[in-house]
Amino acid sequence: MYIRRPLRPLRRTRSRAAHLPPGTPGVRPLAAPWSLRVGGTLLAGAALLVSACSAGPRTEPAGSTASTAAVALAALPRATPSGLSSYYGQKLKWRDCGVPGFQCATMKAPLDYADPAAGDVSLAVSRKKATGPGERLGSLLVNPGGPGGSAVGYLQQYAGIGYPAQVRARYDMVAVDPRGVARSEPVVCLDGKEMDTYTQTDVTPDDRREQAGLVDAYKEFAEGCGSRAAGTLRHVSTVEAARDMDILRAALGDKKLTYVGASYGTFLGATYAGLFPQRVGRVVLDGAMDPSLPARRTNLDQTAGFETAFQSFAKDCVRHSDCALGDKNTTPAKVGDNLRAFFKKLDAHPIPAGDADGRKLGEALATTGVIAAMYDESAWPQLRESLTSAMRENDGAGLLVLSDSYYERDAGGRYSNLMSANAAVNCLDLPAAYDTPDQVREAVPDFEKASPVFGEGLAWASLSCAYWPVRATGEPHRIEAKGAAPIVVVGTTRDPATPYRWAQSLSRQLSSAHLLTYEGDGHTAYGRGSSCIDSAINTYLLRGTPPARGKRCS
């Protein structure tokens, strides 16, 4: 599936191109200058699109959830196991990390919680101390989602300077890169050149030969992960990352965890609450995921979410004279038909993109670029401009920038490990959505019904975990967190990456949830410009008073 985390739009520059790897769905939180993804690319996207996967097709109705059938996540014993006492008792050694106002440290956690003596993982931690005035309230841990997004990077580039001043005044702002991510023993599957090839793989195969090429790409990616990250690949699950957060809580000297997680960060935060309900402080889950869903359902829901976002973009696009997809008399359905025709043209004849490495804009990179802009309506003008250049001037540079930004590819052809970590976590957390190409072909009509524009590509992206080198350790489950303090679950009604029904479902599962609704577009709600949302969350973080259940903002 696509990556789950907030997207920071990049202005078009010919010197820097950006794109998404095929088959990686993802999600991003906070619409500020940051971005989230649900999977990775169209290729990677499938793995991200669903943080939860099932071993085969399901027959539940489109609007249903699996929460009533899924087993509830069991809380861990309150007492710290003796084998973990050294981890819980560690003292963090803070040092300057080269970013003004921020400190860094390294935290140790067991590689395998079932066998703490088997070795450690080193986790990167950063903080910015409370600035005052007012009494310090403790530490506020933040996570931007992904999975695979760098929480440390998010803290230093946005949250530590962009969160409301009154919140930063009272809390030490803290982040930890989850195991396998960024600075915390990163999982890396392919090098830059290999990723360039991977992200350009055709994810709408027209025949058996192209289908075989897509399967080979998934296998090569999986084999790269297995050979380059064999030591950690079995131990990057969300449950393990949540347990790491409890060690960090103890190392920071906090009795309870205060946390804001966006997109995939909501799954991580909800998992923490389920494992340690008595240690839940003030927890905000923005752009919520539903842990009870199997992969196929998650991928279908997200596919429909991107279609909803595209319909909103289409209505906005045709109001402008520079919309290459239609004019004021063009229906959203026709706008979609025009975009699909453009993708089909690119599939046969990629266009120049001004890329120093010689990449051209084909269907895969163009689709990723469009999807990247669906996370935040502030990116729509950039997308409109990029589509106009590509469709009218045969210039794909703008869409390549959007795609590269999604994949976190820099001008030198280097990728962050976002896509690798995204796949590693998703494929471990849940079994693959589909096991064979035949299963995907049968599912394509359902995906195309969910999204005539993106459905076929996202269906094939759902195959990526089928070839993963290690077996999944997780299954779909409910999270109840009985006994936890009030938890604020935030849902956006037209969120493309984490559909609103997921927030509704999670709020029904969590015993102490307060659902806060944002009636609007874009992925996540906090910090996106709604004074109603921001005021409700700030009041909760500063005073401990959650919004009334069912509160709605616009």
Q: pLDDT tens digits, residue range 449-462?
A: 999 999 999 999 99
For 504-516, give the DSSP string.
HHHHHHSTTEEEE
Distances (CA, A) of 403 to 41, 105, 145, 391: 9, 33, 18, 16
**Lowest-pLDDT choice from 29-33, 80-84, 244-248, 451-455:** 29-33
The Cα–Cα gap between 511 and 278 comes to 13
What's the DSSP call for residue 255? Answer: S
Q: Mean per-residue pLDDT for 431-446?
A: 97
Q: Is the pLDDT of residue 8 over 60?
A: no
Give all strands (DSSP E) within 424-533, no chain letters: 477-478, 487-494, 513-521
Any idea which residue has 């359905």 for tokens?
Answer: 333
Q: Is the pLDDT of residue 61 over 70?
A: no
The Cα–Cα gap between 290 and 79 comes to 29
Chain segment 257-293, per-residue pLDDT in tens: 999 999 999 999 999 999 999 999 999 999 999 999 9
Tokens of 93: 């050694």
Question: Are the C-beta atoms of 292 and 267 separated by less than 8 Å?
Answer: no
Provide, rounded to the nearest whole percent, the portion of the chain with pLDDT above 90: 87
The Cα–Cα gap between 442 and 440 comes to 5
Q: Is the pLDDT of residue 33 over 60?
A: no
What's the DSSP call for residue 503? Answer: H
Give all strands (DSSP E) within 12-56, no chain letters: 23-27, 37-41
Q: Mean per-residue pLDDT for 150-170?
A: 96
What was the pLDDT predicted at 89? 96
Phi (first) and psi of residue 491, to 5 degrees: -130, 140
Pairing of strands 23-27, 171-176: unpaired
What's the DSSP call for residue 187? Answer: -
The Cα–Cα gap between 292 and 243 comes to 20
Give all strands (DSSP E) within 278-437, no chain letters: 280-286, 351-352, 360-361
Show which residues are catalytic: 263, 495, 523
pLDDT bucket at 152, cuts 50 / 70 / 90: very high
Q: Within a 10 A sphere around the Cβ of 106, how many other Cβ atoms?
A: 14
The Cα–Cα gap between 476 and 450 comes to 22
Residues in the chain: 554
If one compares 30 and 94, the residue with the highest pLDDT of the two is: 94
Q: Is the pLDDT of residue 167 over 70?
A: yes
The Cα–Cα gap between 55 and 39 comes to 18
Any idea which residue has 């347990």 for tokens?
Answer: 243
Chain segment 457-494, per-residue pLDDT in tens: 999 999 999 999 999 999 999 999 999 999 999 999 99
Q: How many CA atoms lie within 13 A of 401 on its CB side?
A: 22
Among 167, 155, 150, 156, residue whose Cα is nearest residue 418: 150
Chain segment 175-227, per-residue pLDDT in tens: 999 999 999 999 999 999 999 999 999 999 999 999 999 999 999 999 999 99
Burial class (CB in 10 A: 0-12, 13-18, 19+), 84: middle
Give all strands (DSSP E) within 169-274, no chain letters: 171-176, 257-262
Q: Mean per-residue pLDDT for 81-109?
A: 96
The Cα–Cα gap between 163 and 169 comes to 10
Among 38, 275, 24, residue whose Cα is nearest residue 145: 38
**Residue type for position 243:** R
Question: Are the C-beta atoms of 257 and 247 separated by less than 8 Å?
Answer: no
Question: Are the C-beta atoms of 475 and 431 separated by less than 8 Å?
Answer: yes
List residues bridging with 284 in a β-sheet: 260, 488
